[in-house]
Structure 1
Amino acid sequence: MTIAITGATGSIGGALFRQLSDAGADVRPISRADASYADTSGLTAALRGTETVFLVSGRESLHRVLEHESAVEAIANAGAKRVVYLSFYGAAADCTFTFGRDHWHTEQRIRDSGLEFTFLRDNFYQKILPFFADRHGVIRGPAGDGVLSAVADRDVVDVAAAVLQDTGHNGATYDLTGPADLSMRDIAAALSRVSGREVTFVNETVEEAYVSRAHFGAPKFEVDGWVTTYLAIARGETAGVSGDVAALTGHKPQDFDAFLAENPATWAHLLPAAG
């Protein structure tokens, strides 16, 4: 069985390709250099001869759903039988997190394609949580007392490797989370412990959140995604701990403190500047 890994130059796709290669699997790396998701014919050619495709979601953009639809069409046209899609926790047509809606629409397109499928719905990645805090040590956003159950990259990779090598997961949807729910204040406390400086959380209103992000000059769809990240947390849409990582990999998911200890580069911006 030849397995195609899209996003093979990214953190998830690259690690997954190496893990499967080391395990002796027949894997083919696919990157933007081979074909973009929007290039249906080019991607079809790149995927021809594969049986299973690991589909990493494309970059956040106004046209991401259309690009995903093109990628699904290419997978089917290439003669592949199965797709394992890296989706998002709580994906729904009306979920608060605007980028989460893209994943729901992609899942529906896959369901309608005739392909066999498995959906891996990961919560927010642990690696992004330190960057919720700015260089002044402040996390800002309308998250209230809401929580998320962030997952480590390596656990997502381990789950994907297990699912890709076993067709017994066809039609399944798995929720990939860490071992605990974390509030913004929990995240701030963890960053304080590891960095040695006080990190705090400011619970903004929605209006304040848009104002505090205006200086980035980002397009509206992107700012909407940033702000609704926190709103989804406040509304309980990212809460809940799943046992799927442990069930599929045989090991417990990594906790956030362990992640921070192993990845100091993610919180280096909180340290005093040298000199």
Structure 2
Amino acid sequence: MEKILVTGATGNVGRHVVTQLAEAGLDVRALVRDPERARLPERVEVVRGDLMAPETVEPALHGVDSVFLLWPGHPTGPAAGVVAAAARHARRIVYVSAYDPAEGATGDVTENAAPTLFHHEVERLIRHSGLSWTFLRVSGFAVNTLGWADQVRKGVVRWPFGDAARALIHERDIAAVAVHALTSAGHGGATYKISGPGLLTQAEQVRVIGEVVGREVRWEEQPAEEARAALLPVWGDAGFVDAALRGWASFVTRPEEVTDTVEKLLGRPALTFRQWAEEHADDFR
């Protein structure tokens, strides 16, 4: 039986990938920073490693056939070492990437596309690695709205671009598509755009969350410059913050793309944002 290495195995997506693979009876090795705190299914092999330190990842790749990779963000420098190590041991990699409104028909990205630029840099490394690869270019993650939880509890979410329309995807759907690509044939060299099943503006997302938790929650438009000032000390990279704000602003006039890829690959509709909110209601209470 082939062995599958799951990186980021305790993260929002990785944990679902591990669970779904284990439930299917597959041989799973989970890469985590702290095995003692991992709390993963008993039959899963848990090993210590950190993507920011490629030398800690190589031992976890011994005997591995396939790799699930979701790069944690900046910096991308260590990605070269991780991808090279994967190519020395595995034959296949499934990478969770991203797409954005600046992406053209060929999949190229403009200089201003940015938080997706680091994803496309990792894609470039993988394309030239010799591995059989599958890229999942994913829309906005529904789970990122947990960042509003404290504001939801107070009844007002103050954030910029309330009219930005997103096709948010449930992390469980991302995992299910990744598992499908890891365990079935015909996905080598494929780039799949995956999204939730429909569009909701950010203000509508807040309304749905309020309905699910039984609390009236009001959207309050925040000036972009005020949001920038708040995000800079948290993210620490002005270019990244500015690119994110440009991306969110673009969704006001050019909504995020809705695809039916999840349904085509899995044979069922993608989970809705309301379904996601119902599953995470306690996180907002």
TM-score (norm 2): 0.82
1:55 maps to what in 2? 69
2:82 maps to what in 1? 71
The alignment partner of 2:228 has SS state of: helix
* Higher deviation after alignment, 103-112 or 124-133: 124-133
Question: Alpha-carbon deviation of 1:126?
Answer: 1.4
Question: Alpha-carbon deviation of 1:119?
Answer: 0.5
1:105 maps to what in 2? 121
2:30 maps to what in 1? 29
Q: Does 1:267 align with 2:278?
A: no
Which string of whole-angstrom CA distances, capped at 9 and with x for unpartnered residues, describes residues 34-81 of structure 1?
Answer: 2222333331221021111111212x33x2x1122221111012x211
The alignment partner of 1:110 has SS state of: helix
Q: 8 Å contact 1:138–1:201 — kept in the other structure? A: yes
Q: CA RMSD in A?
A: 2.4
Q: Does 1:94 align with 2:110?
A: yes
* Higher deviation after alignment, 156-165 or 143-152: 143-152
Q: Does 1:254 align with 2:245?
A: no
**Hey, what's the Cα distance between the residues in 1 that align with 2:198 and 2:111?**
22
Question: Alpha-carbon deviation of 1:108?
Answer: 0.9
Taking structure 1 as reference, are residues 224 and 200 closer, same or farther at Cα in structure 2, changes over 3 Å only? Answer: farther
The alignment partner of 2:110 has SS state of: coil
| Structure 2 counterparts to residues 117-196 of structure 1, below 5 A | 117-132=133-148, 134=151, 135-143=153-161, 145-196=163-214
* Higher deviation after alignment, 112-121 or 83-92: 83-92
The alignment partner of 1:36 has SS state of: coil
**Hey, what's the Cα distance between the residues in 1 that align with 2:243 and 2:205?**
18
The alignment partner of 2:93 has SS state of: strand
Question: Alpha-carbon deviation of 1:144?
Answer: 5.2
1:233 maps to what in 2? 248
* Higher deviation after alignment, 35-44 or 68-77: 35-44
Q: 8 Å contact 1:233–1:239 — kept in the other structure? A: no
Q: 8 Å contact 1:232–1:238 — kept in the other structure? A: no
TM-score (norm 1): 0.84
**Hey, what's the Cα distance between the residues in 2 that align with 1:46 and 1:244?**
32
Q: 8 Å contact 1:141–1:227 — kept in the other structure? A: no
1:11 maps to what in 2? 12
2:56 maps to what in 1? 42
User: Residue type of the partner of 2:219?
Assistant: F
Which string of whole-angstrom CA distances, capped at 9 and with x for unpartnered residues, describes residues 205-255 of structure 1?
Answer: 3322223x16x842531x764564453132137612111111111111111
Q: 8 Å contact 2:209–2:281 — kept in the other structure? A: no
**Hey, what's the Cα distance between the residues in 2 that align with 1:56 and 1:240?**
21
- Uncovered stretches (5+) of structure 1, i.e. residues with no partner: 269-275
* Higher deviation after alignment, 158-167 or 85-94: 85-94
User: Residue type of the partner of 2:283?
Assistant: T
Q: 8 Å contact 2:160–2:224 — kept in the other structure? A: yes
Q: Does 1:242 align with 2:259?
A: yes
- Uncovered stretches (5+) of structure 2, i.e. residues with no partner: 35-47
**Hey, what's the Cα distance between the residues in 1 that align with 2:235 and 2:11?**
24
| Structure 2 counterparts to residues 204-223 of structure 1, below 5 A | 204-211=222-229, 213=230, 217-221=233-237
